[in-house]
Amino acid sequence: MPVSTPSPARAANNEALTPLASGARAFGWRDHASLWFSLGVGLLVMQVGAYLIPALSTREALAAIVVGSLIGAGLLGWVGKLGCDSGLASAGLMHVVYGRRFASLPIVLNIVQLLGWGAFELVVMRDATVAIGRQAGMLTSSQGPLLATLAWGAVVLALISGSMVALVRKLIARIALPLVVLSLLWLSWQFSGMAQAQGLSALWERSGDGSMGALSAIDLVIAMPVSWLPLVADYARHGRSGRSTLHGTWLGYAIANIWCYGLGVLVALVLPSENLVTALLLAQGGLIALSLILIDEIDNAYGDAYSGSVSLHSLQPRWSIRRWGVVMALACTGFALVLPMHSLEPFLLLLSSVFVPLFGVILGRLAFGVPAAALLSRARAVHWGATLIWLVGIAFYHAAPRFLPALGSSALPTLALCFVLALLTRRPTK
């Protein structure tokens, strides 16, 4: 339950820095599970899953998917529980741990990455729409990509103008989720049939080329749920129970991540030379199934725009979250039109790396029942201990592959290091 503690003066009219009252909370565990299953499903996730082949053997790839998904979704659920227990958005958690002034830096970095990923989602949706349109004999002109980008941008803009709670409880849980589950079941059935025709035992026994280690593969799988860490509290604060938030988020995202990564591996095994979207279209009924998954992809772009608006509101509360959401939706659409997003993907992944140590520190500081909402009113301008641990974590994340190659990954060791240091150095709370 939220702690009814007076907020700082700056948070007087700031929804992101004010604990959400218990009476305003509407999400049960099914709402969390539906939301995070839907957010976990995506063409990008399947594409990354396909990257595991031929680097790993089939058994190694599936093992990495299960382990990485359980760990990554567990971290997502844990941060979600912090958001629910405190009633604070992600920006509020950053204020508690890093201080009122210094928190502005990670909040701005989060806004930048959300603008980038929101635009990238629109590009993914655009490319898939153009491929589907050409398959159906439509969108064959040179203006097809422009029209598709503007159309999806308009959809995100329309959704961001409404209620987030209503979107999750009505549109996602009741309509989008059943359709996307049916689509995944159909595609899984179709590609399983192709695998059976090629010989299941041969595909199961298939070896990898050794270009990727098991820990690096787990790191790649964890990357997807970890990328949502800066967003999860923005939704989890609407939960009625911290435990149901943890379980719903963990279960929903873990199932979606395992399923989509696994489907990507399956597609890569049976059609190794095909583009993922093209391969999905080759399946019987693939056009309809891919179209439904593409529609579900909207909530990923919406999620980036909504959380970006919450973060912007935390910095400039004179504008409402809804008003900032309109700005985010327009900006993402504009960037998708003019920026070479596929070329910027490495930069976005680099920027995302700062959030692994950032949330390692947040978990270490606020884990095991520390009253985050109560600490918000006593937050100083800068909490130097947490800030230094975060900076050390960023340095370790980038130095580990060069100086400690035996680790095989950066995300988990960095997260563990920052968590332990933050836990050992936090001050007792009264």
Domain count, the chain: 1
Q: How far apart are CA 38 and CA 176, in angstroms?
A: 8
Q: Is residue 206 part of a domain?
A: yes
State the first-to-last Cα distance of the chain, in angstroms, to the nearest integer.
18
pLDDT 10s digits, 148-180: 999 999 999 999 998 898 888 888 878 888 889
Q: Is residue 5 part of a domain?
A: no
The structure's pTM equals 0.90
SS3 of residue 27 by DSSP? strand
Q: Is residue 17 part of a domain?
A: no
Q: Is residue 8 part of a domain?
A: no
Q: Is residue 199 part of a domain?
A: yes
Is the four-CA dihedral 205, 208, 213, 218 of positive or negative sign?
A: negative
Q: Is residue 152 part of a domain?
A: yes
Q: Is residue 350 part of a domain?
A: yes
Structural domain of residue 323, as residue ranges?
29-425
Question: What CATH number does the domain containing 320 carry?
Answer: 1.10.4160.10
List the chain residues with pLDDT less than 70.
Answer: 1-12, 139-140, 341-345, 347-349, 352, 429-430
Q: Is residue 7 part of a domain?
A: no
Q: Are 94 and 362 in contact (CB under 8 A)?
A: yes
pLDDT 10s digits, 115-151: 988 998 999 899 889 888 887 777 667 788 899 999 9
